[in-house]
Structure 1
């Protein structure tokens, strides 16, 4: 998104997206774990929430390897039903999370598919298979992940389609979806989207220099 709206504005939105994810974690009734990309971010992550949380920095490897390692660390600590989310899906609702937790009551794996072919929530009650060779950051990820779990004889539930935010064009749909969302961080994000849309409109309406 930075390529089209600029790094400064993209950072503003990224910070709002993070606040939305933290809002979800604050209302989560279970244990909360934050896994920053680097151990250098451990102190920063530790102060993101006022509630009790565990910070487990990601280890080396590609995303699949890091998820496998994190999953094993969590299971070694006694966790069994685990949900993974990123910080780029502010349209997620309590309904989406409830669908996932309900699915784990009967199936090994629950996935919330994204419109772009990825996933916005991935959850498991058994260890993940080897995720190293999945097509991460492509439109094939969701299908490939579900197929991999199936090949490893893990039962899979696919919940309602969701979306994350990767491009400027998705902000318009997000703004519409947040109009009736009363959660404070979402309302702050909606305000930022509206301010951004107004500034873009003003630029587009400016007369050309003669």
Structure 2
């Protein structure tokens, strides 16, 4: 990586928006497919993958837990004393993202990249691509195969995100439309995949199975266990 690219990334804040994995909370669509206990285990593996991304980021790191009561838990997830903990606040996901964004900009942060804990095929390449594109665009997204997004990035305040169709196949299109209506330019980073259903686990398996990062290898191993199909699970 060239010096100016590293400098740009070091000035970009990476935010992990996450929930504390808990039985019967979160990943309900996945739980309907594979059961609540298996869904909890998958959620724990997915969080470990996201933390892997956060750990290797050379810029400022932020963990945004869903509840203020989870701040102590969040503070123990990374071995980085400089990582910030910013609870999400209340409301739907859009309102919570606005809250996080406003708080970080109040602290002087400018270029921000948001990820969740359901996109295990993300890599440093995806994140650095988003950071680079923020030089040109006000907002940058990574499209997910289901019509959502795996990365949201911005260099200025988000518009009001609370009325968007979160968790639907029209999210990305609606998000881009809202930004353009708010006079914000829109760019796209490398696309990715997220995990909401059992078939999504099957979809990400080939890439995870060839990924040498420990959390990805552990998730691939667990997917084999869930589907009991050896090295190459099939639906």
* TM-score, normalising length: structure 1: 0.92
Q: 2:61 aligns with which of 32, 35, 38?
A: 32
Rg larger in structure: 1
Aligned residue for 1:190?
220
Aligned residue for 1:115?
145
Cα separation, 1, equivalents of 2:200 and 2:49: 16
Cα separation, 2, equivalents of 1:145 and 1:96: 19
Task: Write the deviation string for residues 137-163 of structure 1: whole angstroms up to 9, x where unpaired.
Answer: 111110011011111111110223211
Indicate whether 1:58 and 2:88 are aligned: yes
Aligned residue for 1:6?
35
Query: Where do residues 1-210 of structure 1 align in structure 2 (5 Å cutoff)?
Result: 1-51=30-80, 52-198=82-228
Identify unmatched segments of 5+ residues in structure 1. 201-210
Aligned residue for 1:203?
none
Q: 1:22 offset after TM fit, Å?
A: 0.4
Q: Which 4+ stretches in 1 moved above 4 angstroms? A: none
Q: 1:197 offset after TM fit, Å?
A: 2.1
Cα separation, 1, equivalents of 2:163 and 2:155: 21
Secondary structure in 1 matching 2:51 = helix
Secondary structure in 2 matching 1:90 = coil
Secondary structure in 1 matching 2:198 = coil
On the 8 A contact 2:144/2:194 being kept in 1, the answer is yes
Provide the alpha-carbon RMSD of the alignment. 1.3
Identify unmatched segments of 5+ residues in structure 2. 1-29, 231-235
Seen in structure 2, the aligned counterparts of structure 1 residues 79 and 29 have a Cα distance that, compared at 3 Å, is same
